[in-house]
C-alpha cells in the first residue's frame, strides 16, 4: 500500500494491527472488527466523501467514460447495523468482511442514469457517460479488471444475521443524497 501511495487503506490497516496488538496484551475484552469496502448510500454529512465522489464524478460530467472495472460495494446503513449487531451479539468476535456485491462500473453507472431519470433530472442524466473505457485501470486491491472480486461474507450474514442491500438501492440513495446536500445542482 505504501508503494501505491494508498494512504487511507494503509492507515486503516495499521490502526487495526495496533488494535489487535493491544488486544493480545490484555485479552480482557471482545475484539470485533468490521471491514467494509467502498461505501455507498445516504450521507448524513453535508460534505462530499470519497465513496460519494465516485458517484458524483459520473453525474457531473467529470468522467467522460465508464471505468472498465468492478468494485466491491456495501451500503452505509448495513455497515452501521453490522457495528450494532457486533456489539449486541456476545458471541461475535474477530473480523467481519462487509461486502454486498462486486459490481461493474457499467452497472453502477446505469443505475445512476436510471435514478436521475426517475427523479426527472434528465439534463443531469445526459451528462452521464455511456461509453465504457477500452483500457483497464491499474490493478488495485481486488481482482484484476474487468473481473469481479470473489468474496465470502458468510460470517457477517450467518453469524450476525446481516442482510445486505442491493447495489441499485445504495446507488439510488447516494444520488438522492447528493441532491439533498446540494453537492450537485
- Rounded-to-integer distance, Cα 108 and Cα 127, Å: 15
Q: Is 35:98 a contact under the CB 8 Å cutoff?
A: yes
- Rounded-to-integer distance, Cα 168 and Cα 22, Å: 39
- Rounded-to-integer distance, Cα 39 and Cα 74, Å: 5
Residue 100 backbone dihedrals phi, psi, to 5 degrees: -80, -45
User: Active-site residue 163, yes or no?
Assistant: no
Which of 3, 4, 5, 12 is catalytic? The answer is: 12
Q: What interhelical angle do 50-59 and 167-180 show, nearest 10?
A: 80
Spell out the long-range contacts of 9-14 with Cβ–Cβ below 8 A and sequence spacing 24 or more. Answer: 9/141
What residues act catalytically? 12
Amino acid at each position: 500500500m505504501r508503494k501505491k501511495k494508498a494512504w487511507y487503506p494503509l492507515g486503516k490497516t495499521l490502526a487495526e494491527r495496533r488494535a489487535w496488538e493491544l488486544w493480545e496484551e490484555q485479552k480482557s475484552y471482545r475484539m470485533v472488527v468490521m471491514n467494509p469496502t467502498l461505501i455507498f448510500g445516504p450521507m448524513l454529512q453535508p460534505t462530499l466523501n470519497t465513496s460519494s465522489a465516485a458517484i458524483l464524478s459520473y453525474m457531473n460530467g467529470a468522467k467522460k467514460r465508464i471505468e472498465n472495472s468492478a468494485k466491491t460495494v456495501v451500503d452505509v446503513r448495513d455497515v452501521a447495523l453490522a457495528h450494532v449487531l457486533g456489539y449486541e451479539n456476545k458471541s461475535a468476535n474477530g473480523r467481519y468482511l462487509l461486502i454486498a456485491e462486486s459490481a461493474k462500473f457499467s452497472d453502477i453507472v446505469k443505475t445512476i442514469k436510471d435514478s436521475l431519470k426517475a427523479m426527472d433530472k434528465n439534463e443531469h442524466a445526459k451528462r452521464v457517460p455511456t461509453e465504457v473505457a477500452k483500457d483497464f485501470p491499474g490493478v488495485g486491491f481486488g481482482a484484476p479488471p474487468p473481473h469481479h472480486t470473489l468474496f465470502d461474507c458468510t460470517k457477517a450474514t450467518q453469524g450476525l444475521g446481516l442482510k445486505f442491500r442491493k447495489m441499485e438501492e445504495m446507488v439510488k440513495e447516494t444520488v438522492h443524497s447528493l441532491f439533498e446536500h446540494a453537492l450537485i445542482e
